Amino acid sequence: MEDQSVTIPWSTRKRLQYLEFKLFWEGRVNRGDLTTEFGTSIPQASVDFTKYQEMAPSNISYNSSAKYYVPTETFKPIFIELSADAYFSTILCSPTIENRVTCGSDIIGLVPNPSRVIDVDILRTVVQAIKYKQIVSVDYRSFNNPQPGSTRLISPHAFGTDGSRWHVRAYCHDSNKFKDFVLGRIASATMASESDVDVNSDRQWFNYVDVVIGPNPKLNDAQKAIVTMDYGMTNFELRFTCRIALLYYLSKKLGIDRKDNDRAGEEQQIVAINLDEIHAAMRQ
C-alpha cells in the first residue's frame, strides 16, 4: 500500500493515530472516543473513520450490533508502532482537547523523578551556540570548583542524558578536550565568538561500542532463566550499542560498572560480559 499518511494534515494524523491505537490495543473504538479525546464533532469523527477505512480497509471492521469498530485478523499498523515501549509512552502522555497533554493514567503508575533545574535562558544560549557553532563563556559550578566565578570557554555540539539529568557535550578550551557539562550547574552563559573546533574530532561522541550484558553468575539457573526472559536475551546474552561518551552513564544506570560485584545476584541481576572492552573504550 502506498503511504498516504505523509500527505495528511498533522491534526488529522494525530486523530487517526489515536483511532488506530485504540483499535489495536483496546480492541474497539467508536466516534465517541475521538470526540471525547479531541473535542471534535460527531460529523468530523465520521470523516476521520471514513479516511482511515480508505487508507487501511483491511485493518478495521464495524460491529453493527455493538456499534463500534474492531481490528481485523489481518491488521497491519500504518500510524503506530507495535511495541510495549510505544504503548506505555503513548498512554503516559497523549494529546487531548486543545492540545493539552495528559500524563498518567489510573492503570499506570509512574515513579516520581525529581527534576533538575535548567535555566531557560542558559539553555537557549547553548542551543544557539550549537546551531551557529559559537564559543560560549560559562560560569560552571562543579564539586572541584564549587565557588562562583569559575569561568571557562566551551564549544558545545550536542546534548546527552542518562534519563535523570541533561548535560551538554562540548569542547573545553581550558582543558583542551571534549567533556560533559551538567546543564543545571551552569550559572551563566554568554556567547563569546565563532568556534573553529571540528566537532567530528570528538571520537567518543561519534563512535560506538557494543555492550553485552547477561545474568549475574551468582544467580541460580532458574533465576538466570527469569532474567533472560525479562530482557529478551538469546543464549543468556543481550547485545546493544552505545556511544562511547555515554558508557559511563549507562554503566552506572545499569549497575554494571564493576567486575567483582559484592552485591547479591538478586540485587544486581545483570552484569557486563565485556566489561574489559567497555573500560578500554572509555579510556580512549
pLDDT digits (tens, 9 = 90+) for 186-228: 999 999 999 999 999 999 999 999 999 999 999 999 999 999 9
Q: What is the pLDDT of residue 260?
A: 61
What pLDDT band is residue 102 in, cutting at 50, 70 and 90?
very low
Q: Which of 116, 162, 107, 156 is nearest to 136 (CA)?
A: 156
CATH number listed for the domain at residues 120-200: 2.30.30
Looking at the structure, give the CATH architecture of the domain made up of residues 5-103: Orthogonal Bundle (1.10)
Of the listed ranges 37-46, 63-72, 100-109, 246-255, the least confidently predicted one is 100-109
Q: Is the pTM of this model over 0.85?
A: no
Q: What is the pLDDT of residue 90?
A: 83
Percent of the chain's residues with pLDDT above 90 = 74
Q: Is pLDDT above 50 for 55?
A: yes
Ranges of each domain in the chain: 5-103, 120-200, 207-282
Of the listed ranges 18-22, 97-101, 223-227, 265-269, the least confidently predicted one is 97-101
pLDDT digits (tens, 9 = 90+) for 237-280: 999 999 999 999 999 999 998 876 667 778 899 999 999 999 99
Q: Is pLDDT above 70 for 105?
A: no
Mean pLDDT of 31-37: 94
Pick the residue with more confidence: 262 or 24?
Answer: 24
